[in-house]
Amino acid sequence: MLAGAGCFAPEKGVCIMAYVAFQEIGAARIAVDAAMAQQGAAAIRADARLSALEWQVVALARRDRLSSLREPTKLIRAIGSIFGETRNPRLADPSLEALRRMAVLSWHSGYSVPSHEVRAFLAAGYTPDQYELMVDSIAAALSDSRRLARPMAAG
C-alpha cells in the first residue's frame, strides 16, 4: 500500500511529493512495538537495538522466499539472460545481507535456524541480543497476524 506523504519544501516554492510504503514500515514498527510490550523497555539492552533501516530490511524479508538465500542455478541464470533479469533480493551491504538472511530464515522458521547462519549473523557484527530482539519481534508479528486472521467466534 502506497500513500502520499505530502508536499515537502513549500517555503522554497517547490513541492516534492514523497510516497512511502507504509505497509512494510508499519510491519516493522508493529514488530518493534510488540517486542517492547511483550518484554518491556527495560528488558532490552541498549546494544540490542536495530536502526530504522535494519527494521525495514527485517520487514521486507517477510516477503522473501527461502530460495532467495541460495545462489541461482545455471538454469535460472540462463532463463534470466533470455527473458530478462529476475528479481534479486540480495543486498549489496554485507552486514544488511546477513541481517536479511537471518530475517528470512526467522520469518519462515522462528528460532529453528542452522547454527552456521547464526554464526554468520554474529560475525557480521550483530549481537546475540539483537538476534533475540529480531526473532522475538518476528514471532510477535506472526502471532498478531495469525490472531487477526482468525474469524471471530459467533456469540
Higher pLDDT among residues 61 and 74, named by residue? 61
Which pLDDT score, from 0 to 100, does residue 92 have? 86
Residue 143 belongs to a domain: yes
Residue 39 belongs to a domain: yes
Nine-digit cell at 84?
Answer: 530478462
- Domain extent for 54: 2-149
Buried b (16+ CB within 10 A) or exposed e, 132-144: bbbbbbbbbbbee
Residue 154 belongs to a domain: no
With 60 as the cut, is the pLDDT of residue 58 above it?
yes
What pLDDT band is residue 136 in, cutting at 50, 70 and 90? very high
Cα–Cα separations (whole angstroms), residue 76 to 4, 61, 65, 66, 67: 37, 21, 15, 16, 12
Domain CATH code at residue 120: 1.20.1290
**What is the average pLDDT across 38-61?**
77
Ordered alpha helix ranges (H), 12-127:
22-39, 52-60, 74-83, 94-109, 115-123
Residue 155 belongs to a domain: no
State how far the Cα of 111 lies from the Cα of 115, in Å rounded to an integer.
10
Residue 16 belongs to a domain: yes
With 50 as the cut, is the pLDDT of residue 130 above it?
yes
State how far the Cα of 95 lies from the Cα of 90, in Å rounded to an integer.
11
**What is the average pLDDT across 50-57?**
95
Residue 144 belongs to a domain: yes
Nine-digit cell at 152?
Answer: 471471530
Residue 59 identity (one-letter amino acid): A
Residue 142 belongs to a domain: yes
- Supply the pTM of this predicted model: 0.62
Could you read off the pLDDT of 12-31 as tens digits, one per residue?
444 333 333 444 444 444 55
Residue 128 belongs to a domain: yes
Which pLDDT score, from 0 to 100, does residue 84 have? 75
Q: Is the dihedral of CA 118, 124, 129, 131 positive or negative?
A: negative
Could you read off the pLDDT of 68-120 as tens digits, one per residue?
887 777 887 777 778 876 666 788 899 999 999 999 999 999 889 999 999 99
Number of domains within the chain: 1
